[in-house]
């Protein structure tokens, strides 16, 4: 019974072995002769059983392996060590070779006597071809990376240890592969960056966000620094496990230096252009102010001479005042240009404004210029700042006079224009008042006309104009919601038009400002502390205040003013803003702390005060006595009841 079961089991095992086609499974006797042959052996070795049984298995080896005694060595190894396993080339019946994995195990009887060998062979040709292709691909990639010299390309393990090193890294970091492999990449960072944790933060960012990119200083082997662009990408296994990082570094030192040199060159060009513009501005402003000062000085000198003889000096005083007012206007224009002072837009009667300017224009232009106005019987009000519009027209008239060399006809005309969309560049659809100033001068050629609106561009020569006139007029018109256009023909003259939008119907034209009369009798007697570091200005301010009937104490600095306030009480303080040490705005803040409620008026020649002082009462330079009286009335009106009833500074008497 047991023998029958053993035979049946052997038959089943034989059927199992014979059915396997992916492995060659056969038995060798102790001499290496083939004793059995399965379907797998027949499939990829090519021999039928009757062709190979009884043949020596060495015929499956290449001639080189046979000559080297490899078959005998394989059997000896299996017998002595209990197993032989190897891979190598084997030969089919048709002479072709295949790559085989071979395992040989000894077969022994129950007494341990060797009776043969079990040999299992697997055809790995396809797998080896795939591995070989992968190896060649990796080799090509390695050669590619290694040949790159402009980039340091190397691998890091998950904690930042360097595991590969290319020639680019060696070239500009200075380390050979045998010097740096196994080291942490943090050694390329400066001491301060390592202390700040930048290396570890770079790896954390790459792992978390999928990429890290930055620029910064890195350290070479010799201790010198270079400016590097760094990219770190995480490397993950197919399952998503982090296995390391790919790090690419580029030396950007030369690019950074070139960029810095370019920036410095641009800055130098900009500085040169700025200084050229400042030179033109300074020359033009000096020319204009010298003209005004010549009128003021000459008129006052004549007035002093005539006063000694008892002659009427009103004419000369009026001339000096007119020139001074023009100087104030020029200063306001410069402040408006530099600080973009807000316009006081309102409804303006352009016919009335030009009519009221007639005498001023004629005086300004001289008798050689014939002024002709062309206006319809009625003209809708324009939306503009009347003071700035008047300045713009004066500026255009002066330009026209200069273009005509002081002799010719100047035409000022106005009209109403309705524009459709896109009919006029830079203007929206709607109604506009167009004011045009036309001269008979030399005109402009195309290149000059194209640059006419540029700031600081002038054809009058150094010292004969700021080059800001047309650019400021252009900006003024745009702030009003309009535009400025210029048409000119060389040798025939120029026309400059201001396009100003119609004023809203509900906004009546503002009446021209009327200077407040200078009367001190309607103000109660006040004790005033005047502060200014300029003795001439301080004396002049004090004279105006005293002429209004007030008692005035003088301080030449903010420190002196605070000391005087500690000695007694005053009704208000009027202080200049631009003073050394402590400005007028700072003095006002100090007064608020020590003497809360004491009114402070800040006198300034700037277009605007510091933001923290913008809420304070201000008086703009230059000012007349009437302006001073007006701001005092405002202080009196706004002050709490009884506040302006203090006595003067204590003089030590009872």
Cα distance between residue 396 and residue 364, in whole Å: 12
pLDDT at residue number 269:
76
Q: How many CB atoms lie within 10 A of CB 634?
A: 14
Residue-wise pLDDT for 416-472, tens only, equals: 999 888 888 878 889 999 999 999 888 888 777 766 666 545 555 444 444 556 777
- pLDDT, one tens digit per residue, over 518-541 is 444 455 788 999 999 888 788 888
In three-state form (DSSP H/G/I as H, E/B as E, the rest C), the secondary structure along 191-260 is: HHHHHCCHHHHHHHHHHHHCCEEEEEEEECCCCCEEEEEEEEEEEECCCCCEEEEEEEEEECHHHHHHHH
**Pairing assessment for the beta strands 527-531 and 551-555 based on DSSP bridges:** parallel
Q: What is the pLDDT of residue 642?
A: 38
Q: What is the pLDDT of residues 30-48, one digit of tens each?
A: 999 999 898 888 888 889 9
User: How far is CA 218 from its chain centroid?
Assistant: 26
DSSP for 103-139 reads: EEEEEE-TT--EEEEEEEEEE-HHHHHHHHHHHHHHH
pLDDT digits (tens, 9 = 90+) for 134-193: 777 767 766 666 666 778 888 899 999 998 888 888 888 889 888 889 999 998 898 888
Average pLDDT, the chain: 80
Rounded CA-CA distance 281/601 in Å is 32
Question: Cα separation of 403 and 476, whole Å?
Answer: 22
* Interatomic CA distance for residues 594 and 590, integer angstroms: 6
- How would you classify residue 623: left for phi > 0, otherwise alpha for psi between -120 and 50, otherwise beta? beta
Is the whole model's pTM more than 0.85, yes or no? no
Report the length, in residues, of the chain.
Answer: 654
Confidence of residue 581 (pLDDT cuts 50, 70, 90): confident
Backbone angles phi, psi at 476, to 5 degrees: -60, -45
- 380-416, pLDDT tens digit by residue? 999 998 888 888 898 888 888 888 887 889 999 999 9
């Amino acid at each position: 019974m047991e023998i029958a079961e053993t035979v049946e089991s052997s038959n089943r095992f034989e059927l199992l072995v014979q059915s396997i086609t992916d492995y060659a499974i056969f038995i060798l006797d102790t001499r290496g002769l083939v004793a059995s042959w399965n379907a797998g052996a027949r499939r990829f070795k090519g021999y039928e059983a009757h062709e190979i049984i009884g043949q020596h298995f060495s015929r499956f080896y290449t001639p080189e392996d046979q000559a080297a005694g490899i078959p005998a060595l394989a059997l000896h190894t299996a017998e002595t060590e209990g197993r032989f396993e190897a891979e190598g080339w084997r030969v089919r019946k048709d002479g072709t070779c295949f790559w085989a994995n071979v395992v040989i195990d000894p077969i022994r009887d129950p007494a341990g006597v060797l009776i043969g060998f079990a040999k299992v062979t697997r055809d790995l040709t396809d797998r080896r071809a795939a591995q070989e292709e992968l190896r060649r691909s990796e080799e090509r990639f390695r050669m590619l990376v290694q040949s790159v010299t402009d980039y340091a390309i190397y691998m890091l393990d998950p904690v930042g240890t360097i595991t590969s090193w290319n020639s680019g890294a060696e070239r500009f970091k200075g380390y050979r592969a045998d010097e740096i492999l196994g080291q942490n990449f943090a050694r390329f960072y400066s001491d301060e960056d390592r202390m700040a944790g930048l290396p570890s933060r770079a790896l954390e960012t790459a792992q978390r966000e999928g990429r890290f990119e930055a620029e910064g200083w890195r350290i070479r082997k010799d201790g010198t620094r270079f400016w590097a662009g760094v990219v770190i990408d995480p490397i993950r296994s197919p399952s998503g496990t982090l296995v390391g990082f790919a790090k690419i570094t580029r030396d950007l030192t030369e690019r950074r230096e070139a960029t810095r040199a370019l920036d410095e060159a641009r800055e130098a060009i900009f500085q040169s252009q700025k200084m050229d513009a400042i030179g033109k501005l300074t020359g033009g402003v000096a020319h204009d102010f010298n003209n005004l000062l010549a009128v003021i000085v000459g008129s006052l000198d004549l007035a002093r001479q005539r006063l000694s003889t008892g002659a009427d000096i009103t004419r000369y005083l009026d001339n000096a005042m007119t020139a001074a007012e023009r100087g104030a206007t020029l200063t306001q224009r410069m402040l408006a240009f530099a600080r973009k002072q807000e316009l006081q837009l309102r409804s303006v009667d352009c016919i009335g404004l030009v009519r009221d300017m007639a005498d001023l224009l004629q005086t300004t232009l001289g008798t050689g210029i014939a002024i002709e106005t062309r206006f319809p019987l009625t003209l809708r009000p324009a939306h503009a700042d009347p003071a700035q519009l008047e300045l713009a027209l004066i500026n255009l008239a002066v330009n026209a006079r200069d273009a005509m060399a002081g002799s010719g006809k100047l035409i000022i005309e106005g009209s109403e224009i309705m524009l459709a969309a896109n009919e006029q560049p830079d203007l929206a659809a709607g109604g506009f008042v167009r004011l045009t100033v036309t001269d008979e001068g030399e005109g402009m050629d195309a290149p000059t006309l194209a640059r006419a609106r540029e700031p600081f561009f002038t054809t009058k020569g150094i010292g004969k104009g700021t080059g800001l006139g047309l650019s400021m007029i252009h900006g003024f018109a745009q702030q009003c919601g309009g535009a400025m256009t210029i048409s000119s023909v060389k040798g025939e003259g120029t026309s400059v038009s201001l396009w100003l939008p119609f004023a809203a119907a509900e906004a009546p034209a503002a009446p021209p400002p009327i200077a407040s009369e200078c009367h001190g009798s309607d103000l109660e007697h006040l004790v005033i502390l005047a502060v200014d570091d300029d003795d001439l200005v301080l004396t002049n301010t004090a004279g105006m205040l005293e002429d209004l009937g007030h008692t005035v104490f003088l301080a030449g600095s903010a420190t002196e003013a605070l000391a005087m306030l500690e000695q007694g009480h005053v009704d208000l303080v009027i202080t200049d803003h631009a003073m050394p040490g402590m400005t007028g705005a700072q003095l006002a803040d100090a007064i608020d702390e020590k003497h809360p409620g004491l009114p402070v008026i800040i006198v300034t020649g700037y277009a605007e005060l510091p933001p923290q002082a913008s809420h304070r009462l201000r008086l703009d330079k230059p000012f007349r006595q009437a302006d001073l009286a007006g701001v005092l009335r405002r202080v009196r009106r706004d002050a709490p009841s009884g506040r302006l009833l203090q006595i003067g500074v204590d003089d030590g008497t009872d």
